[in-house]
């Protein structure tokens, strides 16, 4: 649920895949075999960036998509927690009425504070700690074509899974 990298210089209208295409992490993953990322269908399939199978055929591809979705939900949950902790980042609060540079600083500060809260075990607002120490919520809370290398790596994962 932690954020390990923050790049807040892009406007909210920017495409996630376009931002990733211009980041240092992409270049690092292209040059080094250090693992894989999970991306939604808005990202291009690459050997280091696994995306869901758009039209799964068969049990193996369906199982891959289920496992992929389980991994992606962690990312979505982290963003949900961040926006719940800092309501100024949630769309229901409108928009931040500052310059783009100041908004980028606010987003970065919120992410760092979120990580600090996780490190210090600060409960989420609206959360009560049970006697056993566990949290209890009071409330219910256009894609580039895949490349051959990405298709090959994803098929290997599907067949192994």
In a domain, 147, yes or no: yes
Q: Residue 155 and residue 24: Cα distance in Å, rounded?
A: 26
Per-10-residue mean pLDDT of the chain, 161 residues long, equals 86 87 90 92 94 96 96 92 92 84 94 95 71 45 64 84 72
> Residue 127: its pLDDT value, please?
62
Q: Residue 123 and residue 113: Cα distance in Å, rounded?
A: 13
Instruction: Tell me how many helices (H) and strands (E) the chain has.
Output: 5, 4
> Residue 11: its pLDDT value, please?
82
Contact between 139 and 124 (Cβ < 8 Å)? no
> Residue 4: its pLDDT value, please?
86
In a domain, 60, yes or no: yes
Output the CA–CA distances (angstroms, integers) from residue 2 to 20, 78, 116, in the order listed: 19, 7, 9
> Residue 23: its pLDDT value, please?
86
In a domain, 105, yes or no: yes
Backbone angles phi, psi at 15, to 5 degrees: -75, 135
Domain count, the chain: 1
> Residue 72: its pLDDT value, please?
93
In a domain, 43, yes or no: yes
In a domain, 6, yes or no: no
In a domain, 138, yes or no: no
Q: Domain of residue 152: give its range.
A: 20-121+143-160
In a domain, 131, yes or no: no
In a domain, 3, yes or no: no
């Amino acid at each position: 649920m932690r954020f390990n990298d923050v790049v807040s210089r892009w406007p909210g209208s920017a495409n996630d895949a376009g931002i990733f295409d211009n980041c240092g992490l992409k270049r690092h993953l292209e040059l080094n075999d250090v693992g894989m990322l999970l991306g939604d269908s808005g990202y291009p399939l690459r050997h280091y960036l696994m995306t869901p199978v758009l039209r799964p055929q068969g049990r193996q591809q369906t199982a891959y998509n289920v496992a992929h979705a389980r991994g992606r939900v962690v990312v979505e949950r982290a963003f949900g927690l961040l926006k719940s902790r800092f309501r100024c980042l949630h769309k229901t609060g409108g928009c931040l009425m500052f310059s783009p540079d100041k908004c980028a600083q606010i987003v970065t500060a919120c992410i760092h504070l979120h990580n600090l809260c996780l490190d210090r075990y600060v409960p989420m607002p609206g959360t009560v700690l049970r006697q056993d120490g566990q949290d209890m919520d009071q409330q219910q809370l256009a894609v580039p074509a895949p490349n051959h290398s990405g298709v090959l790596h994803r098929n290997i994962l599907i067949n192994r899974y």
